[in-house]
Structure 1
Amino acid sequence: MLNMLMTSEYAPAEERHRLQRMLLRVAEGEREALAELYRHTRAAVYGLALSYLKNAHDAQDLTQDVYVQVWDCAQQYRPTGSPIGWLLTVCRSLCLMRLRREKNNAALSEEEWDAIPAQACGLDADERILLQQALGSLAEEERRIVLLHAVTGMKHREIAALLELPLPTVLSKYHRALKKMRSTLEGDDAR
C-alpha cells in the first residue's frame, strides 16, 4: 500500500526533482544537501512524527533520528519513487518502532502543540490555542489525519497510503473531524 505513496504522481514535478537531487547528493556524502533537505522537509516529517507520538519533544527527537537514518541509508533511495514519500515512510517506521517500544499514548498538550513551528501553521497565539482545543476533541486517528493534511500538506490519497487505510475511510474521518472541530469552536457539544 505504501507503494502508492512512492509513485511520482502525488508530488509536483519540480519539487520532486529538487528533492530527488538532494537525496542523491546526500547519498554521495554531501552534508550541505542533508541540511537543505532538512530545511525543505522538516515540517512534513515533524508533523507526521507529532501525529503518531503526540509529544513535541519526542517528535522533535524522532525528526532528528529520521535525518540521521536518511544520512545512513540515502543510498537505498531510488529516484523512481517519491522522495517525500520515502522520507515519510522512514519517519512512520521509526514512529511505529518507538510506539511499540514505549507504548506511549499521552494526549497532545497545549505546550506540545505550541512546539509546532508557528510558521508551519500561519496562526497567531489565540488561534493556535483554539485550534489545539478543537484538535483535542478528536479521536486519535482523526487528529492524525487532520494534522497530516494541515501541517504536512499531504493529500488524502497520500494519507490513506501512509496510514494503510482505504481512501473513503480517510475522507470520512477527515470530514467527521472537521465537523467535530467546527462544533467545538462554535461551542456546540453535539457531535
Structure 2
Amino acid sequence: MLNFVAVLEEGSKTSSTVDDKLIKDIAKGSMEALHTLYEKTHKSVYTFALSITKNTHDAEDILQDTFLKIYQKAADYTSYDKPMAWIFTIARNFALMKFRDRKKEDSMEEVSDMPEAIFSFVEDVSERIVLETAVNKLDENERTILLLHAVSGLKNREIAELLDMPINKVLSKYNRTIKKMQKYLEEEGF
C-alpha cells in the first residue's frame, strides 16, 4: 500500500530558515545573498506558485518574477521576522496577476493537471499517476496546504502565517486532506 505522506515527504527537504539578514544583504546589492536565498527557498516558492496556477510554465515565470522583485524591492522590506511571508506574498501577487491577464485576454482555458515534475521522486509510474490524480481532486486550499507541507517542508505555523489562516484551521484542513487522499488511494487499490 502506498503511504501517501511518506511518499510526498520523501521528495521534500526541510526548509532552511531564512532570516532578515539575507534580505538586508540583498538590499545592499549582494548577489551571493540573493543566490543563498534562492537556494533556500526556490522549491517552496515554485511549489506555492504551482499549487495556485497548476501550470508549470506559469509557476516557473512566477518563480523568476518573484526573485527579480525581491532583488528590486529588498530595500523596501520591513523586518517583521517573517521573510517567507513577504516572499510568498510577492509570489501570490504574481499568480493573481497571471489570472487577471488571462481574463483580460478572454482566453481562460482550463488549467492543466499537476505536472509530474513535482512527483518526479516517485519512481513507479503508475503510483505517480495515481498520486497526481489524487492531488488534482483536491480544492485549491487543500492542495496548497498539502503541497506546502509535504513537498516544500513548511511547518503548519509557517503555512498559517503565509495563508493568513488560524493554525487550527490549517491543521484541520491538512488532516482532512490526508484522510481524503488516503480514502481515494484505498479506493484505487493502493
TM-score range, shorter chain: 0.7 to 0.9
CA RMSD of aligned residues (A): 2.6
Aligned pair 1:124/2:126, yes or no? no
Unaligned runs of 5+ in 1: 1-11
Spell out structure 1 runs of 4+ moving beyond 4 A.
Answer: none
* Residues in 2 aligned to 1:58 and 1:106: alpha-carbon distance in whole angstroms: 13
Q: Which residue of 1 aligns with 2:47?
A: 47
**1:184 offset after TM fit, Å?**
1.5
3-state DSSP of counterpart to 2:17: helix
**1:89 offset after TM fit, Å?**
1.7
Q: 16, 24, 37: which is aligned to 2:18? A: 16
Q: Structure 1 residues 30-39 or 165-174, which shifts more? A: 165-174
**What is the aligned-residue identity percentage?**
40
The structure with higher relative contact order (CA 8 Å, sep 6+) is 2
* Residues in 1 aligned to 2:174 and 2:153: alpha-carbon distance in whole angstroms: 14
Unaligned runs of 5+ in 2: 1-13
- Sort the Cα spacing of 1:117 and 1:31 in 2 relative to 1 into closer, same or farther, 3 A: farther
- Sort the Cα spacing of 1:87 and 1:138 in 2 relative to 1 into closer, same or farther, 3 A: same
- Sort the Cα spacing of 1:16 and 1:163 in 2 relative to 1 into closer, same or farther, 3 A: closer
> So what's the TM-score if we normalise by structure 2?
0.76
Deviations 1:44-91 (A, max 9, x none): 100110111111110011000000100110111234422222211211
Alignment: residue pair count: 170
**Contact 1:63–1:91 (CA<8 Å) still a contact in 2?**
yes
Q: Which amino acid aligns with 2:17?
A: E
